[in-house]
Amino acid sequence: MADPAEVLRDPTRLAALRETELLDSGPEEAFDRLTRLAARLLGSPAALLSLVSDDRQVFMSVAAHGNPAELLPREIPLTHSFCKHAVASGEPLVIADARADPRVRDNPAVTQGGLRAYLGVPLVTRGGLALGTLCVTEQAPRAWTQGDVEALGDLAQVAVAEIERRRVEAQARRSEETLLAAEEMFRGMVEQSLAGIYVVQDDRFTYVNPGFAEIFGYPREELMAGMHVLELVAPEARTGAAASLTRRQQGEAPSFRTTFRGRRADGSAVHVEAHASRAEVDGQPAMIGVLLDVSERVRAEAEREAATAARDRFYAMVSHELRTPISAIMLYHELLLTEVYGPLDAAQREAMERAQRSAAHLLELINDLLDLSKLQAGKMEARVEEVDVAELVESVFLGVAPLAREHGCELALRMARRPLPIVGDARRIRQIVLNLLSNAVKFGEGRPVEVRASATTRGVVVEVRDHGPGIAPADLPRIFEDFVQLGDGGNEGTGLGLPIARRLAELLGGGLEAESEPGDGSTFRLFLPDSPA
């Protein structure tokens, strides 16, 4: 025989038992008739209809001669149960003398209750799950016949049919309650949604939620009284909307998303975004959708586009209206410095050199602004050519050497191998490396600067490391923001070099990252792919 405890703990059996909703229900006449019939048919003083869980045996009905059923306990612990053995085996349990049966002779029902004979038939569902038993008992030994077993088995089948019926009814009731709860929840969500929800059939609204009515400023009843969908579209957009509506109805796509200009009840404009899908409602084709008021978004986008256009016009003015006179100023400075107009004394030469450096710095700022404008507008173009990164880095390295000597900075160049070929834009790569290297020299406080270039599996990495004061962790993300200058702002930078360098690296399909430790310098790492995206 199977271990009763294992069978009783079977999750599937316990779930089926709970689904009957009979474990904690009260007495029922249908089951009482069965136990009375069982006791009378088999001539036994007691008949019981029980359900057996994993921790108790519950009596659904008891017919006991001389022992009123209401005086018997509603349930007993499994330590007193004979029925658990019938449930475990799934077969009738026949005990002629309980004192002689090792399975139950130590059961308190025998040792204390005086039970001597037992015949129980398990209540087995169509799915093969034993939920309980129909049994009869005696206070004296009894030899049960095959006829007794068969008679009790027939009555057990009647009990099973009734239990299954209750189980199906309970499942149906629970399903209905779940469905009603889901419908109520769905109705609440739809009715309280800030988004507009609608159903359209034959080009007319058959349902709109309060959110939809609020967006357009109409009473719901008026919208659902047969209003045509095109009445909510601005007059200038109706022709296109009508054509789109026709295509959707003809099955061009099962769903769509569109933005259009609508008209409110007061005649004012509203920009909306509609999402809809084809469906079937009451057996008829329909479109069910969600509509959002995007007027604020459209307004913000228009303002942003206007601001971007104004910025681009400003940058263009800076570039074309200022760069030309500054270039002319620098040319005249150069003519004066070469003494084309006559000799200069020492004070005059120093003044002219300072003016030339200031003009050059202003021109650098203008060029940075122009580059930033092009990058932000997506108009910066990159050439595609073969580039030897090793040769390019060495050229920049040699070009920065005079600046390094001026700052008392020792430069070191380390190449893993030569050449380091990629496909990219040499001019833009040079611009990035020059910015990184000149920054390291200017802000490194005269300490050594190392430049490394090496190949990776997907391209080339160029590292520029200085041993300057480093960058605080809180400031590290800000160094790539436009016009940000760390420290007291006394340096000659524009605050655009690093933002432009990163954007150029991304334009080339690569990236630029930085890591730094205060007091231990900074490392800028440029990745360049084998070929641009």
Tens of pLDDT, residue by residue over 144-166, are: 999 999 999 999 999 999 888 88
Amino acid 248: pLDDT: 66
356 in Cβ contact with 337 (< 8 Å): yes
Q: What is the pLDDT of residues 172-186, one digit of tens each?
A: 887 887 777 777 777
pLDDT-derived band at 487, boundaries 50, 70, 90: low
Q: Is-above-0.75 flag for pTM?
A: no
Distances (CA, A) of 160 to 17, 28, 124, 127: 12, 15, 7, 12
pLDDT-derived band at 3, boundaries 50, 70, 90: low
446 in Cβ contact with 496 (< 8 Å): no
Strand order from edge to edge, sheet including 522-529: 411-415, 449-455, 459-466, 522-529, 511-516
pLDDT at 44 > cutoff 70:
yes
Q: What are the structural domain ranges in the chain?
A: 4-171, 196-293, 298-376, 385-529
Q: How many CA atoms lie within 13 A of 118 on its CB side?
A: 29
- Judge residue 482's burial from the number of C-beta atoms within 10 Å of its C-beta, 0-12 exposed, 13-18 middle, 19 or more buried: middle
Amino acid 66: pLDDT: 46
pLDDT at 288 > cutoff 60:
yes
* Cα-Cα end-to-end distance for the chain: 72
78 in Cβ contact with 84 (< 8 Å): yes
Higher pLDDT, 255 or 249: 255
19 in Cβ contact with 171 (< 8 Å): yes
Same fold, 4-171 and 196-293: yes
Q: Mean pLDDT for the chain?
A: 85
Could you tell me the fold of the domain covering 298-376? Helix Hairpins (1.10.287)
CATH for 385-529 is 3.30.565.10
Phi-psi region of 284 (alpha: psi -120 to 50; beta: other; left: phi over 0): beta
Q: What is the pLDDT of residues 332-378, one digit of tens each?
A: 888 888 888 889 898 988 888 888 888 887 777 777 777 776 776 66
pLDDT at 406 > cutoff 50:
yes
Angle between helices 346-376 and 323-337 (to 10 degrees): 150
CATH for 4-171 is 3.30.450.40
Task: In whole angstroms, give the CA distance from residue 312 to residue 339.
Answer: 40
Lowest mean pLDDT segment, chosen from 31-35, 68-72, 183-187: 68-72
Task: In whole angstroms, give the CA distance from residue 49 to residue 56.
Answer: 14
Q: What is the DSSP string of 68-95?
A: -GGGS-SEEEGGG-SHHHHHHHTS-EEE
Amino acid 22: pLDDT: 87
CATH architecture of the domain with range 196-293: 2-Layer Sandwich (3.30)
